[in-house]
Amino acid sequence: MKAVIQRVSNASVTIDHKQVASINSGLLILLGIVNEDTQEDIQWLTRKIANLRIFEDENGVMNRSLIEVDGDAIVVSQFTLHASTKKGNRPSYIKAAKPDVAIPLYESFIKQMQEDLSKKVQTGQFGADMKVQLINDGPVTIIIDSKNVE
């Protein structure tokens, strides 16, 4: 399971000209899922994201988590995070899980994230053509792969 986490001052998701999610200060989480992902990946990744100290404290040091700043989150499914670009110029998405595997894991990720944050998490819509708008605060962008933990 791979996530691109962006600290934002605001973000929104629009589908068919209708805004379906909107937050102010918090995190935009782009989530890619592969067939090998499990509940363990979800639990590890949601805890890591919720507790990642990337928000500034009173001294301007990135020392506070999303939980500590009571920030909001939007989770957007994005199979393109698992693109393979080694051969040719057209990315291959063969590693990305098909919807029958990915949708239940995506929904479980959202549920676990809500439990970890003790608040509702906004989302895009799995498989939809979404327009994601954000102001990256910092900019701060972190990539986390549950299969490549260092």
Residues noted as catalytic: 78-80
In angstroms, the CA 52 to CA 49 distance is 5
Pull the structure tokens for residue 121: 């998490």
Contact 23, 10 (CB under 8 A): yes
Strands (E), the chain: 2-15, 18-23, 26-32, 55-56, 62-64, 72-77, 122-123, 130-145
Query: 50: closest CA among 22, 84, 82, 26?
Result: 26
